[in-house]
Structure 1
Amino acid sequence: MDIATIVGLFLGIGFTVWGILISGSLWDYWHFPSIVITLGGTIAATFLAYPLKDIVKIGKVFQKAFLYKATSANEIIEDIIKLANIARKEGLLSLEEYGSKLDDEFLKKGIMLIVDGTDPDLVRNILETELMFLEERHGQGQGTLEAMGSFAPAFGMLGTLIGLINMLQKMDDPKAIGPNMSVALITTFYGSFLANVIFLPLAKKLNVRSKSEVLIKELMIEGLLSIQAGENPRIIEEKLKTFIPPEMRGSIKKEQLGKEEA
C-alpha cells in the first residue's frame, strides 16, 4: 500500500471539501446532470480514444497507483555482487542454481541467458528490448489516465456551455439566472476536480514509478553484462553505485560494514 498516494488523495479531497464548507454546503455542489455530463462524457471519450482491451485494464492501472512494492536498488546491487563472487569462484555455469532462487524474473532471465553462453551483445539486445516493451506497457496506462485528465475539463466546459445557454434562454426571468449560472459553473468544477485531484496526479505517480523501475532494470543489465565479462566484484559494485543517489550509496556501505563485523 502506497501511503503517499492515499494521503495525497485524502488531502486533495479534504481541502476541497473544507473550502466548500467554509462558504456553503456540500449539498449546494451536488448536481446529478452535471456529474453525468462530466464523468459520463469522460468515460465515453475514453472509449472512443482507446481500444476495449486497454480500457478493461483501467482498474489494474488504478490499483497499481495505490498498491506498489518498490524494488530496493541496494538489494539488487547486493544480489549482483553476490552473483559476481559466485561466478568468479565457481564459474558462470554455477549461476543457474543461485539464479533460480531469485524473485525478480528480469534478473533471472538475464542470468539464464548468460549461463546458456549467449553473446554479450545479444544479451544486452534481448534485455533492452524487453525493457523497451515494459516502458511501452507502462505508458499505455499512464496515457489512459492523462487522456481522462484532459477529457474531464473539456466536458466540464461543455456542461458550462449548456448551463449558459439555458440561462440565456431565460433572461426574462431574473430568478432563474442565478441557479442556471450556478449549474453552469458546477460542471467546470467537476471537470477540474476529476482532472487535477484524481486522473493527472495518478498518471504522474505511475510515470515516476515507471522511471524508477526502468532505472533498476538498467542497473541489472549493466551488472549482468559485467559479470559475464568477468569484471572484479569491487569494480562492478562501484559501477552500479553510479545508478543511485549518493545518500543511498552510504546506506550500502553501512549494510556491508555491518555484515563484515558480524
Structure 2
Amino acid sequence: MDVLSLIGIVLGLVAILGGAVAKGSSLGALWNLAAFLIVVIGTLGATLIQARTAVFVHALRIFPWVFRPPRLEMEEMIERIVEWSQISRKEGLLGLENLSDEEPDPFIRKGLQLLVDGAEPQALRQILEADLDNRELFDLQGAKVFESMGIYSPTLGIIGAVMGLMAVMQNLADPAKLGQGIAAAFVATIYGVGMANLFFLPVSNKLKGVVQARVNFQTMLLEGLISIAEGENPRNIENKLSGFVQGG
C-alpha cells in the first residue's frame, strides 16, 4: 500500500474544504450540479474521443497502482537469477525447464523458456527488449489518459464559469441573485483546476513512476538472463545486477 498517495488525497481535500471554510464560505457552496456535469462529464467525453478503447480500459486497470504498485523486490530477484545461473552451470540450461514451467510471471517465463531453447544472447535480447518496449509504451499510454484529463478539466472549468456568468447576466434585473449566481459560476473553475492539479496530473505522474520502476526491474532481469546465456560466473552476475538496486 502506497501510504503517500492516501495522505496526498486527504491533504488535497483538507486544503480545498478547509480553505473554503477558513475563507468564510460553506461546504455546500462547493457543490453545484451544473458545474459537475460540465467539468466531469465534459472531461470524460473529451478523453474518450482522444483515447483508443484498449488504452482507456488499460488506464482504468492500472489506476490501482497509485495505491498498490506492483511488488518489485530487486534483491530477491537478483538472488533468483544467481540461483538460475548456478543451476545452468551445474545441469546445463535444460535444468531451468521445470522452473520455466512453474513461473507465473509471463515475462520471466518467456525469458527462461528462451534460455532452455538455447536462444543466442543477441536473439534473447532482441525478443525480450521488444516485449519490454511494447509493454512500457502501452503502460505509458494508459498513464497519459489521466494526463489528458488533467489538461482538459481546467478548460472545461473555464467553460463552465463562462456559462454560469452568462446565466448571471440574464438576471441582472434581480440583484438578490447576482452574488449567488457569480459564486456558482466559479465553482466550475474550482472543479476543473482542482481535479487537474490534485488528482488527474498527480495520478498520471505516479503511474509513470511505477512504469519506470517496472522497466528498471525488467531490464535488470533481462541483463541477468543474457548473462546466464553467455555463461558468466554467478558472482559476476550478482555484482553486475547490484547496480540496478542502487539506481532503483
What TM-score do the two structures reach when normalised by structure 1? Answer: 0.87
1:230 match: secondary structure? coil
Q: Specify the alignment match of 1:16 in structure 2.
A: 16
Deviation at 1:234, TM superposition (A): 0.9
Deviation at 1:104, TM superposition (A): 2.8
Give a deviation string over 1:220-241, Cα, whole Å, max 9, x none. Answer: 1110111111111111111101
Q: Decide whether aligned partners of structure 1 residues 52 and 107 sit closer, same or farther in structure 2, where only a CA change above 3 A counts.
A: closer
Deviation at 1:73, TM superposition (A): 0.5
Separation in structure 2 between the aligned mates of residue 133 and residue 57 of structure 1, nearest angstrom: 14
Separation in structure 2 between the aligned mates of residue 107 and residue 59 of structure 1, nearest angstrom: 25
Q: Specify the alignment match of 1:241 in structure 2.
A: 242
1:242 match: secondary structure? helix
Q: Specify the alignment match of 1:84 in structure 2.
A: 85
Q: Tell me which amino acid in the other structure corresponds to 1:34.
A: A
Deviation at 1:111, TM superposition (A): 1.2
Separation in structure 2 between the aligned mates of residue 110 and residue 57 of structure 1, nearest angstrom: 24
Separation in structure 1 between the aligned mates of residue 160 and residue 181 of structure 2, nearest angstrom: 11
For the pair 1:190 / 2:191, whether they are aligned, the reply is: yes
> Would the aligned equivalents of 2:56 and 2:142 in 1 still touch at CA under 8 Å?
no
For the pair 1:130 / 2:94, whether they are aligned, the reply is: no
Deviation at 1:84, TM superposition (A): 0.9
1:67 match: secondary structure? coil
Q: Specify the alignment match of 1:151 in structure 2.
A: 152
Separation in structure 2 between the aligned mates of residue 93 and residue 56 of structure 1, nearest angstrom: 39
- What RMSD, in angstroms, separates the aligned Cα atoms of the two structures? 1.9
> Would the aligned equivalents of 2:62 and 2:142 in 1 still touch at CA under 8 Å?
yes
Q: Tell me which amino acid in the other structure corresponds to 1:71.
A: L
2:244 match: secondary structure? coil
Higher mean alpha-carbon deviation, 195-204 vs 15-24, is at 15-24
Number of residue pairs aligned between Structure 1 and Structure 2: 247
Deviation at 1:138, TM superposition (A): 0.3
Runs of 4 or more, structure 1, over 6 Å off, are none
> Would the aligned equivalents of 2:29 and 2:184 in 1 still touch at CA under 8 Å?
no
Identity of paired residues, percent? 35
Deviation at 1:214, TM superposition (A): 0.3
Deviation at 1:58, TM superposition (A): 4.2
Give a deviation string over 1:177-212, Cα, whole Å, max 9, x none. Answer: 322221221110000111112111111111000000
Q: Specify the alignment match of 2:3 in structure 1.
A: 3
1:68 match: secondary structure? coil
Name structure 2 gaps, 5 residues minimum: none
Deviation at 1:57, TM superposition (A): 4.1
What TM-score do the two structures reach when normalised by structure 2? Answer: 0.92
Higher mean alpha-carbon deviation, 211-220 vs 10-19, is at 10-19
Q: Specify the alignment match of 2:34 in structure 1.
A: 33
> Would the aligned equivalents of 2:171 and 2:178 in 1 still touch at CA under 8 Å?
yes
2:145 match: secondary structure? helix
Q: Decide whether aligned partners of structure 1 residues 92 and 58 sit closer, same or farther in structure 2, where only a CA change above 3 A counts.
A: closer
For the pair 1:71 / 2:72, whether they are aligned, the reply is: yes
Give a deviation string over 1:109-129, Cα, whole Å, max 9, x none. Answer: 111101101121111000000
Q: Specify the alignment match of 1:252 in structure 2.
A: none
2:149 match: secondary structure? helix
Q: Specify the alignment match of 2:182 in structure 1.
A: 181
